[in-house]
Every structure is written in C-alpha cells, then in structure tokens.
Structure 1
Amino acid sequence: MSKPGMQEEIEITVDGVTYRYSQLCEEAQAQAHSLQFVDAQIAELKAKLAVFQTARNAYQTALQQLVPRTQQ
C-alpha cells in the first residue's frame, strides 16, 4: 500500500521488458497514453457489442414467437 500523497509508479511492459512510465522519453509516454486510450475504447465497444447482441437475441426470440409456424 502506498503512503498518503505518494502515487504508485506505473509500469509498462513492451516485448517482455518492464519499464517505469516516468523513465520513458516524452514520445514513448505519449504512445503509451494513446495505447491506453485505444484499449479503453476497445473495451467500451466490446461492452456495447455485448449489449447489442443481447438485445438482438431478444428481438429474434420475440419475432420467432410472433411469426406463424409452418407444419412439416
């Protein structure tokens, strides 16, 4: 646990090597930040996709119950 007022150092792993965020050059920090942003956006889209897929399944089930059944 960190002491009050102290922030834990963020570590980034690239190709199996771990780096401290503060030790990266400014450009590498920017790239790491962009990567983190994109990863968050992908996670958000995956969550939305799960919601849409659930809704689609419910609509499909409702439609199947409403259409006339054919006799075979």
Structure 2
Amino acid sequence: MDEPLQVTVDGVSYLVSELSAEAQEQVNNLRFVDQEMAALRSRLALCSTARIAYENALRLAVPRSIQ
C-alpha cells in the first residue's frame, strides 16, 4: 500500500490529505514546478551533449593549419 503523501515546511512534516484545500493546491503547484524543472534539466543535458558533438564535428570539418 502507498504511504500517505507528506510535505515538510520549516522542518515540520504534514500529511497533505490533512491540509486545507489552499495548502494542497500549493503542494500540487510545487510538485508541478519540480517536474518541469526536472524536464528542463534533462533537456539541458541533452542540448549540452549535442553541443559537444557539434563542436567535435566542426573541428573535423575546418581545415587544419600546418605549422
């Protein structure tokens, strides 16, 4: 069985189901934002990896100078 969802605010833990509707809405807002931030971190990691690959491809595509 799933554990009841809890939230900790200023070091005090609360059961979400026992909070007011307004407080539950804010918990949902925080959960949504946390999920969005995780998705953005994943996209940033993907873009960073692609940028490295494009840099490497550019190095191979430009003429090499002879010194």
- Aligned position for 2:23: 28
Structure 2 runs not aligned, ≥5 long: none
SS of the aligned residue for 2:14 comes to: strand
The normalised TM-score by structure 1 is 0.85
Partner in structure 2 of residue 45 of structure 1: 40
Q: Which of these residues, 13, 18, 39, is aligned with residue 18 of structure 1? A: 13
Identity of aligned residues (%): 48
Shift of 1:56: 0.7
**Residue in structure 1 matching 2:58, options 55, 63, 72:** 63
SS of structure 1 residue aligned to 2:29: helix
Mind listing any 5+ residue stretches in structure 1 that lack a counterpart?
A: none
> 1:66 deviation in Å?
1.1
Runs of 4+ that moved beyond 3 A = none
Larger % of helix: which? 2
Question: For residues 1-42 of structure 1, what are the alpha-carbon distances to aligned partners after superposition, in whole Å with 9 as ceiling and x for unaligned?
Answer: x2xxxx431000111110000111100000000000000000
Normalised to the residue count of structure 2, the TM-score between the two structures is: 0.91
What is the SS of the residue equivalent to 2:8?
Answer: strand
Paired with 1:71 and 1:19, the residues of 2 have a C-alpha distance of 68
